[in-house]
Structure 1
Amino acid sequence: MVYPIERNYINMGNARNGRKLVGVKFIVSHDTGNPGSTAIGNRNYFNDNQPKSSAHTFVDDQEIMEIIPLDEMAYHVQAQKPADNELFGANANSAAIGVELCYGGSIQFRQAYDRYVWYHAYLCRTYRLDPRTKIVSHRTLDEGRKIDPEGVFKANGIKWERFIKDVYRQYVSRQ
């Protein structure tokens, strides 16, 4: 299955400053932490409110929506956290794509998860990243403060290791 990707970029402001990434070195997996919020709902929130945070892409059971161009910075991990630099030699906000999973409410988890897996594999193919070593959870980068997306995965019977295997399986299938 190949899913369409909608590019519906937010305006410039606090959430999108237009600065370029130094290159895509890894992917950070997140969940919204806001059950029931959709991809378009998140896009509109970031566009209208312009908080000093953001992510590149939101995935729900209906769509994959890029709200910040993938060659621009997004603020999806606290800059002062050292784990991203230790693991990848770069700050996540300047060298990683942030992908958010929408869940809960009327969102069908399985369909959202399938799109989320597919999109991660798509990014790995596009940027020549090994999904077994170049995808990291937000929890790993901000341990003790964040649990995403592993908390939502766990609530739905999925372990982080299975997610990585699912992405790898999709990655090698070339779909």
Structure 2
Amino acid sequence: MNSTMQKPSNSTRPRLPRELRLPAVLAAVVVILLLVRAVLSALAPGGPSAAGTLPDEVPDAPEWVTRELLPINQYSRPGKKLTAVNGVVVHYTGNPGTTAEQNRSYFAGLAETGETFASSNFVVGLDGEILECVPLDEVAYASSQRNYDTLSIEVCHPDDTGAFNQASYDALVKLVQWLIDTYHLDRDQILRHYDVTGKECPRYYVQHPEAWEAFLDDLTF
């Protein structure tokens, strides 16, 4: 073997000029941070949704709505901003006979139990009371992939059929009409949870689609 042949040393490999090394490292760190942020955002229930717009100013709910906001926490009120209000999603609580206050307390309790991700912007009670639990410009964990561009309403019901009593129904109509007028929504932007995910919610209006159409007919667009 020719004794004059040597293995190339690391010093002969091309290297960035010293003045470019720090900017290159900083650029790599920025890219990594952006990737981490994207992954965390994707893991949140719903993830960022359809592009849209929000009003220049967040409207205040009417005086007939009681504001009882949940504490900011990762399970029921993440404090993330909506990307738009492109619709309203109606749900039923699935807990026959429970009150609006009880359902609001369940959402608040998730901050301690961490058992699931769940909440709603509004809860309509059996006596027609309406609680605002998550502000109108924030994400509620209610409608899966539509969390970021819709507002959600949970409605209490007296029995397993999921049918709303008259007081709850009238309050729901009043609230949805206000949201329609405030955000300039169309008929096809008022949705059942079923229309978003296929879940049987609100049960009565999934099992009786004609009743859902009658509800929409009670609204003015």
Matched with 1:115 is: 171
Does the 8 Å contact 2:125/2:168 carry over to 1?
Answer: yes
Relative to 1, partners in 2 of residues 1:94 and 1:128: Cα closer, same or farther, differing over 3 Å? same
Asked whether 1:37 is paired with 2:98, we answer yes
Q: Which has the larger radius of gyration?
A: 2
The alpha carbon displacement at 1:42 in A equals: 0.9
Q: Does 1:76 find its partner at 2:132?
A: no
Structure 1, unmatched stretches of 5+, are: 80-91
**What's 2:72 paired with?**
12
The one-letter amino acid paired with 2:179 is: L
Any idea what the Cα deviations from partners look like across 1:106-155, whole Å, max 9, x if unmatched? x971111110111111111111112x121011111111xx2212x23478
Which residue of structure 2 aligns with residue 87 of structure 1? none
Give the counterpart letter for 1:32 in structure 2.
T
Instruction: List structure 1 runs of 4+ shifted beyond 2 angstroms.
Output: 151-158
Residues 164 and 157 of structure 1: CA distance in aligned 2, closer, same or farther (over 3 Å)? closer
- Distance change in 2, residues 1:108/1:127 (3 Å): closer
Q: Is the 8 A contact 1:28 1:135 kept in 2?
A: yes
Residue 85 of structure 1 corresponds to which residue in structure 2? none
Q: Is the 8 A contact 1:27 1:99 kept in 2?
A: yes
Match of 2:147 among 81, 89, 93: 93
2:214 is equivalent to residue 162 of structure 1: yes
Q: How many residues matched?
A: 151
Q: Deviation of residue 18 (structure 1)?
A: 0.5
| TM-score normalized with structure 1 length | 0.78
Higher relative contact order structure (alpha carbons within 8 Å, sequence separation ≥ 6): 1
Per the alignment, residue 56 of structure 1 pairs with 121
Instruction: Compute the RMSD of aligned alpha carbons.
Output: 2.3
How many percent identity over aligned positions?
33
- Whichever residue aligns with residue 8 of structure 1, its letter is E
d(CA) in 1 for partners of 2:70 and 2:213? Answer: 33
Match of 1:141, SS state, is: helix
Structure 2 residue aligned with 1:89: none
- In structure 2, the CA distance between the partners of 1:25 and 1:159, relative to structure 1 (3 Å rule), is same
Residue 133 (structure 1) aligns with: 188
- Label 1:155 to 1:104 Cα distance change in 2 as closer, same or farther (>3 A): farther
Distance in 2, matches of 1:156 and 1:104, equals 17
